[in-house]
Amino acid sequence: MNKKRILGAALALFTAMSMSAATYTFKIAKPIEDMKLQIHWCTSGEKSELEVQNGVAILSKNDFTAQYVRVYYGRAFAMNLYLEPDKDLTVDCNAEAREFNCTGAAATINNYLIKSPFAVLGFNATAKEEADFIKSSDSVYNANLALMKSANLPAYFVKKEEQRLLFKSYVMFPLYKSYHSYIKKMEDYTPTALYKNKLKELAVIDGNFLGYAEYGDFIMNAVSCQAFQGGDRAKELMAFMDANVKDAKVKSYITNAYAYDVVSRSGLDGKDELIAYFRKNVTDRKLVEKFDAICKQWEGLKAGCPSPSFNAPDINGKMVSLESLKGKYVYIDVWATWCGPCRGELPYMTKLEEQYAGKDIHFVSLSCDSNKSAWEKRIQKGDMKGIQLHLGTNSDFMQKYIIKGIPRFILLDRDGKIIKADAPRPSEPNITKLFDELLKK
Protein backbone atom coordinates (compact mmCIF):
# COMPACT_ATOMS: atom_id res chain seq x y z
CA MET A 1 0.00 0.00 0.00
CA ASN A 2 2.81 2.36 0.91
CA LYS A 3 4.51 1.58 -2.38
CA LYS A 4 1.31 2.47 -4.25
CA ARG A 5 1.06 5.74 -2.34
CA ILE A 6 4.68 6.58 -3.04
CA LEU A 7 4.23 5.69 -6.72
CA GLY A 8 1.04 7.75 -6.87
CA ALA A 9 2.69 10.74 -5.26
CA ALA A 10 5.64 10.49 -7.62
CA LEU A 11 3.31 10.27 -10.61
CA ALA A 12 1.34 13.29 -9.40
CA LEU A 13 4.55 15.26 -8.93
CA PHE A 14 5.77 14.29 -12.41
CA THR A 15 2.43 15.26 -13.94
CA ALA A 16 2.48 18.61 -12.16
CA MET A 17 6.02 19.25 -13.33
CA SER A 18 5.23 18.33 -16.93
CA MET A 19 2.19 20.61 -16.91
CA SER A 20 4.06 23.59 -15.45
CA ALA A 21 5.21 26.20 -17.91
CA ALA A 22 8.20 28.47 -17.92
CA THR A 23 7.43 32.18 -17.71
CA TYR A 24 9.03 34.70 -20.05
CA THR A 25 8.74 38.29 -18.87
CA PHE A 26 9.68 41.39 -20.87
CA LYS A 27 9.99 44.67 -18.97
CA ILE A 28 9.96 47.57 -21.40
CA ALA A 29 11.13 51.04 -20.46
CA LYS A 30 8.99 53.79 -22.01
CA PRO A 31 6.47 51.46 -23.72
CA ILE A 32 4.75 52.62 -26.90
CA GLU A 33 0.98 52.93 -26.65
CA ASP A 34 -0.91 50.00 -28.23
CA MET A 35 2.35 48.41 -29.42
CA LYS A 36 2.43 44.64 -28.96
CA LEU A 37 5.50 42.50 -28.47
CA GLN A 38 5.94 39.65 -30.96
CA ILE A 39 7.85 36.38 -30.55
CA HIS A 40 8.66 34.50 -33.76
CA TRP A 41 9.34 30.83 -33.04
CA CYS A 42 12.01 29.75 -35.52
CA THR A 43 11.37 26.00 -35.44
CA SER A 44 7.59 26.05 -35.89
CA GLY A 45 7.27 29.33 -37.76
CA GLU A 46 4.51 30.40 -35.36
CA LYS A 47 4.15 33.83 -33.79
CA SER A 48 3.08 34.84 -30.29
CA GLU A 49 1.71 38.35 -29.88
CA LEU A 50 1.79 39.73 -26.35
CA GLU A 51 -0.04 42.69 -24.84
CA VAL A 52 2.22 45.14 -23.02
CA GLN A 53 0.55 46.34 -19.82
CA ASN A 54 2.28 48.96 -17.70
CA GLY A 55 5.50 48.19 -19.56
CA VAL A 56 5.36 44.42 -18.97
CA ALA A 57 4.60 41.55 -21.37
CA ILE A 58 4.37 37.98 -20.03
CA LEU A 59 4.14 34.59 -21.71
CA SER A 60 3.84 31.20 -19.97
CA LYS A 61 4.47 28.29 -22.32
CA ASN A 62 5.75 24.73 -22.24
CA ASP A 63 4.39 23.08 -25.39
CA PHE A 64 7.56 23.47 -27.47
CA THR A 65 11.08 22.20 -27.84
CA ALA A 66 13.94 24.47 -26.79
CA GLN A 67 14.65 26.81 -29.70
CA TYR A 68 15.84 30.15 -30.96
CA VAL A 69 13.23 32.86 -31.21
CA ARG A 70 13.22 36.35 -32.65
CA VAL A 71 11.60 39.03 -30.48
CA TYR A 72 10.26 42.26 -31.99
CA TYR A 73 8.79 45.36 -30.39
CA GLY A 74 7.76 47.46 -33.37
CA ARG A 75 10.80 49.34 -34.62
CA ALA A 76 12.06 49.93 -31.09
CA PHE A 77 14.11 46.74 -30.95
CA ALA A 78 14.61 43.22 -32.26
CA MET A 79 16.65 40.50 -30.58
CA ASN A 80 17.57 36.83 -30.78
CA LEU A 81 16.80 34.72 -27.72
CA TYR A 82 16.94 31.01 -26.89
CA LEU A 83 13.90 29.85 -24.94
CA GLU A 84 13.58 26.56 -23.07
CA PRO A 85 10.26 25.18 -21.75
CA ASP A 86 11.65 24.55 -18.26
CA LYS A 87 13.63 27.77 -17.65
CA ASP A 88 12.16 31.12 -16.68
CA LEU A 89 13.55 34.29 -18.21
CA THR A 90 13.11 38.00 -17.56
CA VAL A 91 14.42 40.54 -20.07
CA ASP A 92 14.78 44.22 -19.16
CA CYS A 93 14.58 46.29 -22.33
CA ASN A 94 15.62 49.93 -22.57
CA ALA A 95 15.64 50.56 -26.31
CA GLU A 96 16.43 54.26 -25.98
CA ALA A 97 19.62 53.57 -24.02
CA ARG A 98 20.29 50.38 -26.03
CA GLU A 99 20.52 48.47 -22.74
CA PHE A 100 19.17 44.93 -22.45
CA ASN A 101 19.70 42.47 -19.61
CA CYS A 102 18.45 38.99 -18.77
CA THR A 103 17.83 37.37 -15.40
CA GLY A 104 16.43 34.00 -14.45
CA ALA A 105 17.36 30.37 -15.15
CA ALA A 106 17.92 31.04 -18.87
CA ALA A 107 19.95 34.23 -18.36
CA THR A 108 23.45 32.96 -19.22
CA ILE A 109 22.65 31.94 -22.80
CA ASN A 110 20.44 34.93 -23.51
CA ASN A 111 22.78 37.57 -22.13
CA TYR A 112 25.39 36.09 -24.44
CA LEU A 113 22.99 36.38 -27.39
CA ILE A 114 21.92 39.96 -26.81
CA LYS A 115 25.13 41.47 -25.43
CA SER A 116 27.94 39.83 -27.41
CA PRO A 117 29.81 42.08 -29.90
CA PHE A 118 29.55 39.61 -32.79
CA ALA A 119 31.86 40.23 -35.74
CA VAL A 120 30.17 41.20 -39.00
CA LEU A 121 31.29 41.72 -42.58
CA GLY A 122 30.05 44.96 -44.11
CA PHE A 123 28.94 45.88 -47.61
CA ASN A 124 32.30 47.45 -48.51
CA ALA A 125 34.06 44.13 -47.93
CA THR A 126 32.47 42.84 -51.15
CA ALA A 127 34.78 45.16 -53.09
CA LYS A 128 37.63 42.77 -52.27
CA GLU A 129 38.81 40.18 -54.77
CA GLU A 130 37.51 36.66 -54.24
CA ALA A 131 40.41 35.19 -52.27
CA ASP A 132 40.58 38.15 -49.88
CA PHE A 133 36.79 38.20 -49.46
CA ILE A 134 36.75 34.50 -48.59
CA LYS A 135 39.60 35.03 -46.12
CA SER A 136 37.72 37.90 -44.47
CA SER A 137 34.54 35.83 -44.25
CA ASP A 138 36.41 32.97 -42.62
CA SER A 139 37.98 35.40 -40.14
CA VAL A 140 34.55 36.68 -39.10
CA TYR A 141 33.33 33.14 -38.44
CA ASN A 142 36.45 32.25 -36.46
CA ALA A 143 36.15 35.43 -34.38
CA ASN A 144 32.56 34.62 -33.53
CA LEU A 145 33.46 31.06 -32.60
CA ALA A 146 36.16 32.39 -30.27
CA LEU A 147 33.65 34.77 -28.72
CA MET A 148 31.23 31.92 -28.11
CA LYS A 149 33.89 29.68 -26.57
CA SER A 150 34.86 32.42 -24.12
CA ALA A 151 31.26 32.79 -22.89
CA ASN A 152 31.20 29.59 -20.78
CA LEU A 153 27.95 28.33 -22.29
CA PRO A 154 26.22 24.99 -21.59
CA ALA A 155 27.53 22.16 -23.77
CA TYR A 156 24.08 21.29 -25.15
CA PHE A 157 23.75 24.83 -26.52
CA VAL A 158 27.27 25.17 -27.95
CA LYS A 159 26.72 22.71 -30.79
CA LYS A 160 23.59 24.54 -31.92
CA GLU A 161 25.25 27.91 -31.61
CA GLU A 162 28.21 26.86 -33.76
CA GLN A 163 25.79 26.13 -36.58
CA ARG A 164 23.88 29.39 -36.12
CA LEU A 165 27.11 31.37 -36.14
CA LEU A 166 28.03 29.84 -39.47
CA PHE A 167 24.98 31.34 -41.18
CA LYS A 168 25.28 34.59 -39.23
CA SER A 169 28.96 35.03 -40.06
CA TYR A 170 28.64 34.20 -43.77
CA VAL A 171 25.41 36.17 -44.33
CA MET A 172 27.16 38.43 -46.88
CA PHE A 173 28.74 35.56 -48.77
CA PRO A 174 25.85 34.75 -51.17
CA LEU A 175 25.51 38.48 -51.96
CA TYR A 176 29.11 38.85 -53.09
CA LYS A 177 28.39 38.33 -56.80
CA SER A 178 25.82 41.12 -57.09
CA TYR A 179 27.50 43.52 -54.65
CA HIS A 180 30.98 43.07 -56.12
CA SER A 181 29.75 43.69 -59.66
CA TYR A 182 27.87 46.79 -58.45
CA ILE A 183 30.83 48.30 -56.58
CA LYS A 184 33.28 47.50 -59.35
CA LYS A 185 30.82 48.44 -62.12
CA MET A 186 31.36 45.05 -63.79
CA GLU A 187 28.16 44.12 -65.63
CA ASP A 188 29.59 40.86 -66.95
CA TYR A 189 31.28 39.70 -63.72
CA THR A 190 31.16 35.94 -63.17
CA PRO A 191 32.70 34.42 -60.03
CA THR A 192 35.41 31.81 -60.43
CA ALA A 193 35.32 28.23 -59.18
CA LEU A 194 37.05 29.39 -55.99
CA TYR A 195 33.99 31.36 -54.92
CA LYS A 196 31.43 28.95 -56.36
CA ASN A 197 32.89 25.94 -54.57
CA LYS A 198 32.99 27.78 -51.23
CA LEU A 199 29.36 28.89 -51.65
CA LYS A 200 28.28 25.35 -52.51
CA GLU A 201 30.11 24.06 -49.42
CA LEU A 202 28.31 26.56 -47.19
CA ALA A 203 24.85 26.23 -48.76
CA VAL A 204 23.81 22.94 -47.18
CA ILE A 205 20.18 22.08 -47.93
CA ASP A 206 18.65 20.90 -44.66
CA GLY A 207 15.17 21.77 -43.43
CA ASN A 208 16.25 21.28 -39.81
CA PHE A 209 18.42 24.38 -40.15
CA LEU A 210 15.30 26.51 -40.61
CA GLY A 211 15.22 26.50 -36.80
CA TYR A 212 17.95 29.17 -37.10
CA ALA A 213 16.55 32.55 -38.14
CA GLU A 214 19.77 33.31 -40.01
CA TYR A 215 19.53 30.19 -42.18
CA GLY A 216 16.40 31.29 -44.03
CA ASP A 217 17.91 34.47 -45.45
CA PHE A 218 21.24 32.78 -46.07
CA ILE A 219 19.89 29.82 -48.03
CA MET A 220 17.45 32.02 -49.96
CA ASN A 221 20.31 34.22 -51.15
CA ALA A 222 22.64 31.27 -51.71
CA VAL A 223 20.16 29.44 -53.94
CA SER A 224 19.30 32.65 -55.80
CA CYS A 225 22.99 33.37 -56.42
CA GLN A 226 23.51 29.93 -57.90
CA ALA A 227 20.24 29.92 -59.87
CA PHE A 228 20.15 33.35 -61.50
CA GLN A 229 22.11 33.44 -64.73
CA GLY A 230 20.72 36.56 -66.38
CA GLY A 231 17.53 35.15 -67.87
CA ASP A 232 13.97 34.83 -66.54
CA ARG A 233 14.60 34.74 -62.79
CA ALA A 234 11.49 32.81 -61.82
CA LYS A 235 12.15 30.09 -64.40
CA GLU A 236 15.83 29.88 -63.45
CA LEU A 237 14.98 29.56 -59.75
CA MET A 238 12.34 26.88 -60.32
CA ALA A 239 14.66 24.86 -62.59
CA PHE A 240 17.54 25.08 -60.10
CA MET A 241 15.35 24.03 -57.18
CA ASP A 242 13.89 21.05 -59.04
CA ALA A 243 17.41 19.89 -59.85
CA ASN A 244 19.19 20.68 -56.57
CA VAL A 245 16.79 21.23 -53.66
CA LYS A 246 15.28 17.91 -52.60
CA ASP A 247 14.42 18.83 -49.01
CA ALA A 248 10.69 19.64 -49.02
CA LYS A 249 10.94 22.10 -46.10
CA VAL A 250 13.67 24.15 -47.74
CA LYS A 251 11.94 24.03 -51.11
CA SER A 252 8.72 25.25 -49.52
CA TYR A 253 10.53 28.02 -47.63
CA ILE A 254 12.33 29.38 -50.71
CA THR A 255 9.30 29.02 -52.97
CA ASN A 256 7.07 30.87 -50.53
CA ALA A 257 9.61 33.64 -49.86
CA TYR A 258 10.29 34.24 -53.54
CA ALA A 259 6.73 33.92 -54.88
CA TYR A 260 5.20 36.08 -52.15
CA ASP A 261 7.83 38.78 -52.63
CA VAL A 262 7.43 38.85 -56.42
CA VAL A 263 3.63 38.86 -56.41
CA SER A 264 3.33 41.41 -53.59
CA ARG A 265 5.65 43.78 -55.48
CA SER A 266 4.58 43.33 -59.09
CA GLY A 267 1.26 41.50 -59.23
CA LEU A 268 -0.15 38.54 -61.13
CA ASP A 269 0.54 39.31 -64.78
CA GLY A 270 2.96 36.79 -66.24
CA LYS A 271 3.13 34.88 -62.96
CA ASP A 272 0.95 31.84 -63.81
CA GLU A 273 3.86 29.39 -63.86
CA LEU A 274 5.31 30.73 -60.60
CA ILE A 275 1.91 30.64 -58.88
CA ALA A 276 1.40 27.03 -60.02
CA TYR A 277 4.85 26.19 -58.64
CA PHE A 278 3.85 27.75 -55.32
CA ARG A 279 0.67 25.66 -55.20
CA LYS A 280 2.70 22.52 -55.83
CA ASN A 281 5.42 23.09 -53.24
CA VAL A 282 3.85 25.10 -50.41
CA THR A 283 1.21 23.31 -48.33
CA ASP A 284 1.37 25.14 -44.98
CA ARG A 285 -2.16 26.47 -44.46
CA LYS A 286 -1.12 29.84 -43.03
CA LEU A 287 1.37 30.48 -45.83
CA VAL A 288 -1.19 29.53 -48.46
CA GLU A 289 -3.81 31.80 -46.88
CA LYS A 290 -1.35 34.70 -46.80
CA PHE A 291 -0.41 34.12 -50.45
CA ASP A 292 -4.05 33.85 -51.48
CA ALA A 293 -4.76 37.16 -49.76
CA ILE A 294 -2.06 39.04 -51.67
CA CYS A 295 -3.19 37.43 -54.94
CA LYS A 296 -6.74 38.60 -54.25
CA GLN A 297 -5.48 42.13 -53.64
CA TRP A 298 -3.75 42.16 -57.03
CA GLU A 299 -6.66 40.58 -58.91
CA GLY A 300 -8.14 43.99 -59.69
CA LEU A 301 -4.78 45.26 -61.02
CA LYS A 302 -4.35 42.74 -63.82
CA ALA A 303 -3.88 43.93 -67.40
CA GLY A 304 -7.17 45.17 -68.85
CA CYS A 305 -8.71 46.20 -65.51
CA PRO A 306 -9.81 49.83 -65.06
CA SER A 307 -7.16 51.79 -63.20
CA PRO A 308 -7.82 53.28 -59.78
CA SER A 309 -8.14 57.04 -60.20
CA PHE A 310 -6.39 60.06 -58.73
CA ASN A 311 -7.12 63.76 -58.47
CA ALA A 312 -4.12 65.81 -57.40
CA PRO A 313 -2.89 69.43 -57.64
CA ASP A 314 -0.09 70.68 -59.85
CA ILE A 315 2.40 73.34 -58.73
CA ASN A 316 -0.21 76.05 -59.39
CA GLY A 317 -2.93 74.30 -57.41
CA LYS A 318 -4.89 73.16 -60.46
CA MET A 319 -6.47 69.75 -59.88
CA VAL A 320 -5.65 67.09 -62.46
CA SER A 321 -7.52 63.77 -62.54
CA LEU A 322 -6.76 60.56 -64.34
CA GLU A 323 -10.04 60.91 -66.24
CA SER A 324 -8.81 64.19 -67.76
CA LEU A 325 -5.86 62.36 -69.31
CA LYS A 326 -7.87 59.77 -71.24
CA GLY A 327 -7.24 59.59 -74.97
CA LYS A 328 -3.51 59.04 -74.59
CA TYR A 329 -1.35 56.38 -72.97
CA VAL A 330 -0.36 57.36 -69.42
CA TYR A 331 3.02 56.51 -67.89
CA ILE A 332 2.97 57.23 -64.15
CA ASP A 333 5.94 57.67 -61.81
CA VAL A 334 5.11 57.47 -58.09
CA TRP A 335 8.08 59.06 -56.35
CA ALA A 336 9.30 61.38 -53.55
CA THR A 337 12.04 63.97 -53.24
CA TRP A 338 13.67 62.08 -50.35
CA CYS A 339 13.93 58.80 -52.29
CA GLY A 340 17.41 58.15 -53.71
CA PRO A 341 16.35 55.51 -56.29
CA CYS A 342 13.53 57.86 -57.37
CA ARG A 343 15.99 60.69 -57.99
CA GLY A 344 18.22 58.25 -59.85
CA GLU A 345 15.43 57.65 -62.37
CA LEU A 346 14.77 61.35 -63.05
CA PRO A 347 17.44 61.85 -65.78
CA TYR A 348 16.13 58.76 -67.61
CA MET A 349 12.56 60.03 -67.25
CA THR A 350 13.59 63.38 -68.76
CA LYS A 351 15.17 61.62 -71.75
CA LEU A 352 12.00 59.59 -72.31
CA GLU A 353 9.86 62.71 -72.15
CA GLU A 354 12.09 64.42 -74.68
CA GLN A 355 12.18 61.36 -76.96
CA TYR A 356 8.40 61.00 -77.00
CA ALA A 357 7.47 64.69 -76.91
CA GLY A 358 4.38 65.28 -79.05
CA LYS A 359 3.58 61.56 -79.11
CA ASP A 360 0.39 59.97 -77.88
CA ILE A 361 1.55 59.53 -74.28
CA HIS A 362 1.31 61.51 -71.04
CA PHE A 363 4.18 61.40 -68.57
CA VAL A 364 2.80 61.91 -65.06
CA SER A 365 4.84 62.17 -61.87
CA LEU A 366 2.87 61.69 -58.65
CA SER A 367 4.79 62.85 -55.58
CA CYS A 368 3.97 61.11 -52.31
CA ASP A 369 6.02 63.62 -50.28
CA SER A 370 4.47 64.33 -46.89
CA ASN A 371 6.38 67.62 -46.97
CA LYS A 372 4.63 69.44 -49.82
CA SER A 373 7.03 72.40 -49.65
CA ALA A 374 9.97 70.07 -50.40
CA TRP A 375 8.15 68.92 -53.53
CA GLU A 376 7.31 72.50 -54.54
CA LYS A 377 10.94 73.57 -54.10
CA ARG A 378 12.11 70.69 -56.32
CA ILE A 379 9.56 71.41 -59.06
CA GLN A 380 10.34 75.12 -59.04
CA LYS A 381 13.85 74.33 -60.26
CA GLY A 382 12.18 73.95 -63.65
CA ASP A 383 14.17 71.00 -64.97
CA MET A 384 11.44 68.37 -64.56
CA LYS A 385 9.14 67.94 -67.53
CA GLY A 386 5.83 66.16 -67.87
CA ILE A 387 2.82 66.55 -65.59
CA GLN A 388 3.99 67.12 -62.02
CA LEU A 389 1.37 66.49 -59.31
CA HIS A 390 1.43 66.24 -55.52
CA LEU A 391 -0.41 63.13 -54.36
CA GLY A 392 0.72 63.20 -50.74
CA THR A 393 0.78 60.28 -48.32
CA ASN A 394 -1.91 57.74 -47.47
CA SER A 395 -3.66 58.27 -50.80
CA ASP A 396 -6.40 55.95 -51.98
CA PHE A 397 -4.52 55.59 -55.27
CA MET A 398 -1.37 54.26 -53.57
CA GLN A 399 -3.32 51.89 -51.37
CA LYS A 400 -5.28 50.43 -54.27
CA TYR A 401 -2.08 49.94 -56.27
CA ILE A 402 -0.48 48.25 -53.23
CA ILE A 403 2.51 50.59 -53.38
CA LYS A 404 4.82 49.59 -50.53
CA GLY A 405 8.03 50.93 -52.03
CA ILE A 406 9.03 53.63 -54.48
CA PRO A 407 9.74 54.42 -57.21
CA ARG A 408 6.81 52.62 -58.79
CA PHE A 409 5.90 52.98 -62.45
CA ILE A 410 2.46 52.28 -63.93
CA LEU A 411 1.40 52.16 -67.58
CA LEU A 412 -2.20 52.71 -68.69
CA ASP A 413 -3.90 52.58 -72.08
CA ARG A 414 -5.86 55.38 -73.78
CA ASP A 415 -9.04 54.39 -71.93
CA GLY A 416 -7.45 54.41 -68.49
CA LYS A 417 -7.14 50.63 -68.29
CA ILE A 418 -4.08 48.93 -66.88
CA ILE A 419 -1.37 47.70 -69.24
CA LYS A 420 1.21 47.14 -66.50
CA ALA A 421 0.58 47.84 -62.81
CA ASP A 422 4.34 47.46 -62.26
CA ALA A 423 5.83 48.85 -65.45
CA PRO A 424 9.52 48.95 -66.42
CA ARG A 425 11.52 51.87 -65.07
CA PRO A 426 12.78 54.64 -67.40
CA SER A 427 16.32 53.30 -66.92
CA GLU A 428 15.41 49.85 -68.23
CA PRO A 429 16.40 49.26 -71.88
CA ASN A 430 13.09 47.59 -72.83
CA ILE A 431 10.94 50.63 -71.98
CA THR A 432 11.36 52.32 -75.39
CA LYS A 433 10.54 49.08 -77.20
CA LEU A 434 7.35 48.82 -75.16
CA PHE A 435 6.37 52.43 -75.93
CA ASP A 436 7.11 52.02 -79.65
CA GLU A 437 4.95 48.89 -79.88
CA LEU A 438 2.04 50.63 -78.13
CA LEU A 439 2.23 53.77 -80.26
CA LYS A 440 1.94 51.69 -83.44
CA LYS A 441 -1.53 50.55 -82.38
Mean pLDDT of the chain: 92
Do strands 311-313 and 99-103 pair parallel, antiparallel, or not at all (unpaired)? unpaired
pLDDT at 3 exceeding the cut of 60 = no
Q: What are the pLDDT digits (tens) for 32-85?
A: 999 999 999 998 888 999 999 999 999 998 889 999 999 999 989 999 999 999
pLDDT at 31: 94
Burial profile 39-77: b = 16 or more Cβ within 10 angstroms, e = fewer = bbbbeeeeebebebeeeebebeeeebebbbbbbbbeebb
Question: What is the structure's pLDDT at 20?
Answer: 63
Percentage with pLDDT > 70 across the chain = 95
pLDDT at 13: 38
pTM: 0.82
- The C-alpha atoms of residue 173 and residue 144 are separated, in whole angstroms, by 16
282 contacts 313 by C-beta, under 8 angstroms: no
What is the structure's pLDDT at 2? 52
pLDDT at 18: 43
Least confident of 9-18, 23-32, 221-230, 368-377: 9-18
Mean pLDDT of 266-274: 93
Domain with CATH 2.60.40.1120 in the chain: 19-108
- What is the tens place of the pLDDT at every residue in 85-132? 999 999 999 999 999 999 999 999 999 999 999 999 999 999 999 999
CA torsion sign for 299, 301, 302, 307 is positive
Range from 171-185, 266-280, 329-343, 387-401 carrying the lowest mean pLDDT = 387-401
Q: Is 168 exposed, middle or buried (0-12, 13-18, 19+ CB in 10 A)?
A: buried
| Residue 7 CA: distances (Å) to CA of 16, 19, 260 | 14, 18, 55
Nearest Cα to 414, choosing from 310, 303, 323? Answer: 323
pLDDT tens digit string along 348-398? 999 999 999 999 999 999 999 999 999 999 999 888 889 999 998 878 999
Q: Looking at the domain covering 19-108, what would its CATH class be?
A: mainly beta
Q: Which fold has domain 311-439?
A: Glutaredoxin (3.40.30)
As annotated, the residues of the chain forming the CATH 3.40.30.10 domain(s) are 311-439
